[in-house]
Amino acid sequence: MEPALAWIVLGLPLLGAATLAAWPSEPPRSMTRVLGVGPMVVSFLLTAWLYVQMLGENSDDRLVVSRVWEWIEIGDLSIDVALQVDPLSVMMMLVVTGVGSLIFIYSTEYMEHDRDYRRFFAEMGFFVFSMLLLVLAANFLFLIVGWALVGLASYLLIGFYYEKPPAVAAAKKAFIINVIGDLAMVIAAFILVVELGTLNYLLVFEAAPDGLGRGAVEAVTILLFVGAAAKSAQVPLHTWLPDAMEGPTPVSALIHAATMVTAGVYLIVRTHELYELAPYASDLVAITGAVTLFLAATIATVQVDVKRVLAWSTISQIGYMIMAAGLGAYGAAMYHLMTHAFFKALLFLSIGMVIHGLAGAQSLDRMGGLGRHLKFAYVATAIGVLAISGVPGTAGFFSKDEILASAWDAGDLGRVLWLVGALAAGITAFYMFRLLFRTFSGPEPEGGYGVHPQPSRWPMAAPVAVLAVLSLWGGWIQVPRGWTWIIDWLEPVIGRESIPGQQAELVTLATSIAVVAIGAAAAWWIFAVDPARPKRLAGRLVATRRLLEDQFRFDHVYDRAVVGPTRDLAEYLYRRMESGFVDGLVRGAISLARGSAMGLRAAQNGLVRTYVFVMISGVVGLGALLAWVVTR
Amino acid sequence: MNLAATTPILIVGAGATISLSMGLLPWRFAQRHGPTIVALVGLLAAAVMSLVFWGDRIEAFDGSLHIDRFSMLLNLIFITAAIAVILLSIREPGAVDRRGEYASLILFSTAGMMLVGAAGDLIVLFVGIELLSVALYVLAALEVWRERSLESGLKYLIVGAVGSSILLYGFALLYGATGTTRLGEIAEALSGSTLTGEPLVFGAVVLIVAGLGFKASAAPFHMWTPDVYEGAPTPITAFMSTATKAAALAAFLRVFTGGLVEIEADWDLIIGVVAAAAIIVGNIAALVQDNMKRLLAYSSVAQAGYLLIGVAAGSIQGAEATLYYLLAYLVMTLAAFAIVIIREREVIDGDTVGALAGYARRRPVHGAVLTLAMLSLAGFPPLSGFLGKFLLFGSAVEADMIWLAVIGAIGSIISLGYYLRVLGVAWFGDRPQSAAEQGLESPRLAGLVTVASGLAIVALAVAASPVLDACRSAAESLLGA
Amino acid sequence: MSGVPLFWYLMLSFGLFGLGLVGVMRRRNPLLMLLAVELMLNSANIALVGFARQWNNTDGQIFALVVMAVAAAEVVIGLGLVVAVFRQRLALNVDEMSSLKG
């Protein structure tokens, strides 16, 4: 195995991005395409080669740390510039560069009419570099560096359309919430330095069982989880992700669905040695994941913006992964991370074809009946919907069921979480089929589409086709009672993971098929069978409520008729969570800071006398303080 | 040998004098460019000599000057700042109007700073501080036709003189308590004592913290800073916020970590409190500033707080972190000010945040440098500002001052509020291009300083190891190792 | 130590320092403010000389001499600035020089 390959894989996207950025003027589009897509594809091929090489090694030899130089040495603490190449990082690299390449190819067409073509590819390349750094880092410091850099790239790309104020606001919000997470991770790193004197993964994991006290290990893991929750949009740090949909659709697909937002899952799996020592933190992780997956699924049922539906579904799906990771089912979490990357990228890209075809429209109210015009996008989206809903045989089916089955086997808490997850699976099927039907079937919206829907050309269609195949068949790499390639592959990193028992498998299988069928059928009955039904249904309820006269409330009424209490909950949650807790906290802190700033400003009145007076007061204050210290 | 070791200071002092007298020469070229050229040559020669003496350890003039790695490292900081500022000033109206004196005053100020860096004696320290301050009073008021420049200079002079008096009184009390002005002998005299029975030392510590805190513009002794920074010619503001800050921190380290180390347990808390106050006040007040110079002034108050964390830690580790952060702070601040200076020459009210609207898009390289500088100032990983803060907070934790690290971390988050706003305006802001902007000249020397600073920000992070080694050995030389 | 005890030197010095401080805060004319600052610097000088007598070494006296030179330099700059202000026909009132604030 040649670990130097990892350095090349890491460096190529940065090189491409730097070349694009340094180009003195806007380069020709063909050149931008070559410099943007080329490094990505080569990186993917090299990663694949690395993977093949690794397959040829004994499982004991599959973990290599490639150290280049010692970055800093402070006392006993030494931090290297080093990459850790092991099955986990290679798996992440495959996802990042593989899905990344497809999305880059797609973007060449999708962004064709944007004047900032070069900036787009430069920033995307920078993102891929940062993401690869995050997954390849061999110590916590470079993990944090990658962690912060993907946040920066995400900031730049959410704010890509800088002339739109909501985009700039969303970018800022995402950045600040992510910095809170970064800070928590820095503090965790501090504790590790103080307690263990090293930040190197392998040394930390080796020393942790003896070197870290119970309290310290819980603190470190909880702080790391704050970082993970911020990056992976888990409750209550999730509010930035729906807003992040202000970015271009390929950005949403790559960063806010397939790769960056799953970094939190990666982090927990990477540091699972610590989480295994911290039962409370692990439970916290699992519960947070379950709460998130349920809340986000209910909220997704009332969204009208297609991309926001997908954003909430992303939050929900990552909730599954986080829950699995908290329950110790690391293999299942990584498995779902991979399949989710396939089908969520597929959904974003195929919905992106619709948005592209409609010249930027994103509201479900402006869609409907598009299946007739955009057959390819229809089929692709349908495959994505099948996969995310977990229809048997698709990628999402295998991975989601494995998470649920693992939960079933994980004690009392696991059973509760299993129930939540299974319920949410039904809701997931409901809202995804709702999205499908409201976009592609039924009548055209009143007033038409505004433009004639344009089918997409091959650079957009081809990646979508590849992802569709992966979403359909990509789940077969691990089959219950059959073979366990993911678990085998990750064994050098996460150890031998026990597979769920037969009872768990069967109960989960039966339940999930049932809830998915119910969810899908409900959506089908309301949105697809009879185009007039929504109106009729609404009409019946209008009798009781004048409110229903309002055309815009239709959506609410259907939902109420079907999922009644869930809908109310969703509405409530949406209002509360969207502009609630964390945002309120952030806003409160900001207004406090602003208020104090205005106070300081008033004190700064320009008079020398005031300044001297404050200075003397400072001297007196210091004297009093020192007197207190001395006499204490 | 004594004289030889002081060559960097002597060269700068001689350069200042020669530069001043260039105007007497009969040739037009010498009158025009002579002062600047002499000054630059002198500074470069002094830098070379500082490198030559790197590693030597000489107590010149009976211990009143310590020629050690600490002073040499600081020499390099001062000289870099001075060179950058002279380059940034080439087309400034104040520098053009007072061609003969401008460079010379900067050199005198630099010489004062170098004295502070090398001071082994309270008298030398005081003279150094006054030499640097007096030259700066003049420089701040140099654009005499501008009311604000005059106001800035006069305010600086009066408040500064009060600050100097406080400091001097502190020195007097310290002398009264120990009977000597040599820092080394003070350390010996204080060994084993505590403040409880020593009212003179008690008073000295309070007054010296206040006086030096004033020079470093740490809260609550910072109030002159925004006014003076805003009113002074911008290159001078850059000089004050980089070199003067470094000199003040050098004085802190010399007096406290070097001289008063024996009673560290007594003063670490009050310096910690001053640091915390500066971090909070600076970061919060900066949130509502619309003028870049004021914004950077408040940011420099906060940065003074971060730098003081390393002093409060009272350890070699803390001094090392402060020195590294001084280097990082020097280049990030220079980058920011260079861009403000470029903008001031291009548009009216160029020193406002609004003047940067869309600037990063129009000059992406400068935009990248500005981004690096702002993110590094905010402590964004992996830039040098992050590494410096990491080390500073680490030294605080090591010294059992976890609360200080926490306040620093909170301050960093608050600071994102304004640093990010600058970046948001520069990248995303829109501004109708005025006719004056159409035929932009290239910013030449100021552009050079910008790009060089940007590269230095990156270099300090990438090559952190050798730089940290240098900082460590400089910090060790502080305690006579 | 014969003659006046150190205590009285220090009392005088403290008194002058306080006087100077009050002067800086009360006066509006920059010239008088400079005068007050001089008072503060020289109060430190008295303390220095007093201590020098007590310790019976010359460090404090040397320090005091140096301070005198420094104080002179400061006053010269101050006078220069006052003249510049005067030439711009601005009021010689520090309180009116408060356009820089906030």
Q: How does pLDDT run across A46-72, given as a tens digit for each residue? A: 999 999 988 888 877 888 888 888 887
Rounded to whole angstroms, the Cα distance separating A400 from C51 reads: 83
The percent of residues in chain B predicted with pLDDT above 70, rounded, is: 96
The pLDDT of residue A538 is above 70:
no
Rounded to whole angstroms, the Cα distance separating B450 from B448 reads: 5
The string of DSSP letters for B331-364 reads HHHHHHHHHHHHHHHHSTTTTBGGGGTTHHHHSH
Name every residue in C having a CB less than 8 A away from some CB of B: 17, 20-21, 24, 30, 33-34, 37, 40-41, 43-44, 47-48, 50-51, 54-55, 57, 59-60, 62-63, 66-67, 70, 73-74, 77-78, 80-82, 84-85, 87-88, 90, 94, 97-102
Lowest mean pLDDT among A67-76, A125-134, B371-380, B385-394: A67-76
The pLDDT of residue B282 is above 70:
yes
In this prediction, the answer to ipTM > 0.90 reads yes
**Using the beta-carbon criterion (under 8 Å), do A629 and B416 form an inter-chain contact?**
no
Which chain A positions have a beta carbon within 8 Å of C98's beta carbon?
605-607
**Using the beta-carbon criterion (under 8 Å), do B173 and C88 form an inter-chain contact?**
no
| Domain extent at residue B385 | 2-478
Count Cβ–Cβ pairs < 8 Å, chain B vs chain C: 136
Which chain A positions have a beta carbon within 8 Å of C33's beta carbon?
608
**Using the beta-carbon criterion (under 8 Å), do B281 and A600 form an inter-chain contact?**
yes
CB A153 within 8 A of CB A128: no
Please indicate whether residue B434 or residue B378 has the higher confidence score (pLDDT): B378
Which chain B positions have a beta carbon within 8 Å of A162's beta carbon?
427-428
The rounded Cα B87 to chain-centroid distance in angstroms is 17
Of A347, A381, A186, A178, which is closest to residue A258 (Cα–Cα)? A347
Mean pLDDT of B251-279: 90
Rounded to whole angstroms, the Cα distance separating A238 from A582 reads: 9
Q: pLDDT for A139-169, tens place per residue?
A: 998 899 899 899 989 988 998 888 888 888 8
Buried b (16+ CB within 10 A) or exposed e, C59-72: bbeebbebbeebbe
Residue A92: predicted pLDDT: 92
CB B170 within 8 A of CB B176: no
Q: pLDDT for A479-499, tens place per residue?
A: 777 777 888 888 888 887 777
Name every residue in C having a CB less than 8 A away from some CB of A: 21, 24-26, 33, 94-95, 97-102
Q: State the pLDDT confidence band at A551, using cuts at 50, 70 and 90.
A: very low
Please indicate whether residue A388 or residue A358 has the higher confidence score (pLDDT): A388
Q: Are strands B58-59 and B65-67 parallel, antiparallel or unpaired?
A: antiparallel
| Domain extent at residue C75 | 27-90
The pLDDT of residue C48 is above 90:
yes
Residue A549: predicted pLDDT: 37
- Residue C79, domain member (yes or no): yes
- Name the residue facing A625 among B224, B273, B387 (closest C-beta): B273
- Residue C50, domain member (yes or no): yes
- Name the residue facing A611 among B224, B381, B420 (closest C-beta): B224
The percent of residues in chain C predicted with pLDDT above 70, rounded, is: 98
- Residue C67, domain member (yes or no): yes
Total domains present in chain B: 1
**Using the beta-carbon criterion (under 8 Å), do C37 and B145 form an inter-chain contact?**
no
**Using the beta-carbon criterion (under 8 Å), do A152 and B375 form an inter-chain contact?**
yes
Lowest mean pLDDT among A65-74, A503-512, B45-54: A65-74
CB A526 within 8 A of CB A537: yes
Highest mean predicted confidence (pLDDT) among A180-189, B158-167, B194-203, B362-371: B158-167
**Using the beta-carbon criterion (under 8 Å), do B205 and A626 form an inter-chain contact?**
yes
Highest mean predicted confidence (pLDDT) among A62-76, A338-352, C79-93: A338-352
Residue A630: predicted pLDDT: 80
Q: State the pLDDT confidence band at C50, using cuts at 50, 70 and 90.
A: very high
Which chain A positions have a beta carbon within 8 Å of B464's beta carbon?
71-72
Which chain C positions have a beta carbon within 8 Å of B231's beta carbon?
100
Q: pLDDT for A226-278, tens place per residue?
A: 999 999 988 888 888 888 888 899 999 888 888 899 999 999 999 999 999 99
Residue A559: predicted pLDDT: 46
CA distances A183 to A198, A267, B240, B410, Å, are 18, 15, 31, 9
Tokens of B452: 């060089």
Lowest mean pLDDT among A604-608, B385-389, B449-453: A604-608
Mean pLDDT of B373-395: 89
- Residue C60, domain member (yes or no): yes
Mean pLDDT of C61-77: 93
Which chain B positions have a beta carbon within 8 Å of C78's beta carbon?
154, 157-158, 161
Torsion of CA B369, B372, B377, B382, to 10 degrees: -150
The rounded Cα A467 to chain-centroid distance in angstroms is 18
- Name the residue facing A159 among B162, B285, B428 (closest C-beta): B428
Rounded to whole angstroms, the Cα distance separating B304 from B209 reads: 13
